[in-house]
């Protein structure tokens, strides 16, 4: 008698699978703890300015507005806000093997520190007096940055992950957040990817395994109730 499940194959799109899951969740939520931090992943021109860079993408046109709203509420309640952006040395060597698959002006390792591609999108409401800002070189915001110790210092138990791409650095950061023992939350409207298939498949995977994938309003409501 077969007890497991053979891989399902059907005609549903990734969006349809995600919407069906959200309409009838199959897992208990991790929920919010006592104190959260907002980790905003890679809101830099290389990935947000679709009119300027081939590497940029947009899912919800109001993504940055939603992120700014969450961050303002978090700051007002004394909760940490963190921003990451990707950038590399002039020789690209710190991209490691990740930077070896292509070598064009649009390639990952050619996002140079202090370049236009490295700079944060100026639509982002960043408060240098309050917010922590880290340069990262690999997908997860936790990898070889001070993020883990910063969250411990602030006695955080919940991490809200925003940014892009949903299938790349957001997913990697959310998986690492859970692995570090944090309740992990991904607000839907605050993430973006190049194709809806990657985007919704990743949100489905996160919701099933690693995070609470919720409407942004749920995070705002929790912050308003603190």
* Average pLDDT, integer, range 2-9: 86
| pLDDT over 90 at 226, yes or no | no
Residue 78, Cβ neighbours under 10 Å: how many?
Answer: 10
Q: What is the pLDDT of residues 175-223, one digit of tens each?
A: 999 999 999 999 999 999 999 999 999 999 999 999 999 999 999 999 9
Average pLDDT, the chain: 97
| pLDDT over 80 at 145, yes or no | yes
Q: What is the pLDDT of residues 68-110, one digit of tens each?
A: 999 999 999 999 999 999 999 999 999 999 999 999 999 999 9
Cβ atoms 85, 91 nearer than 8 A: no
Q: What is the pLDDT of residues 55-66, one digit of tens each?
A: 999 999 999 999
| pLDDT over 80 at 2, yes or no | no
Residue 4 pLDDT: 87
E strand segments, 35-80: 36-41
Q: What is the pLDDT of residues 152-182, one digit of tens each?
A: 999 999 999 999 999 999 999 999 999 999 9
H-state helical runs in 143-195: 147-153, 171-179
Architecture of the structural domain at 32-225: 3-Layer(aba) Sandwich (3.40)
Cβ atoms 46, 172 nearer than 8 A: no
């Amino acid at each position: 008698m077969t007890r497991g499940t053979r891989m399902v194959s059907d005609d549903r799109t990734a969006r349809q699978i995600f919407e069906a899951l959200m309409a009838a969740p199959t897992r208990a939520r991790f929920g919010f703890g006592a104190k959260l931090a907002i980790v905003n992943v890679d809101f830099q021109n290389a990935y947000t300015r679709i009119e300027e860079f081939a590497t940029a993408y947009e899912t919800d046109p109001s993504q940055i507005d939603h992120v700014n709203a969450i961050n303002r509420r978090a700051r007002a309640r004394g909760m940490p806000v963190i921003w990451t952006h990707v950038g590399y040395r002039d020789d690209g060597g710190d991209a490691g093997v990740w930077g070896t698959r292509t070598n064009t002006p649009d390639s990952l390792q050619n996002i140079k520190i202090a370049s236009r591609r490295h700079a944060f999108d100026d639509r982002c409401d960043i408060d240098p007096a309050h917010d922590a800002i880290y340069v990262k070189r690999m997908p997860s915001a936790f990898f070889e940055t001070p993020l883990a110790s910063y969250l411990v210092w602030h006695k955080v138990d919940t991490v809200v992950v925003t940014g892009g791409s949903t299938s790349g650095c957001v997913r990697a950061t959310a998986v690492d957040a859970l692995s570090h023992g944090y309740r992990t939350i991904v607000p839907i409207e605050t993430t973006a990817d190049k194709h809806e298939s990657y985007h919704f498949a990743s949100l489905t995977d996160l919701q099933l395994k690693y995070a609470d994938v919720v409407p942004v309003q749920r995070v705002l409501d929790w912050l308003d109730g603190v």
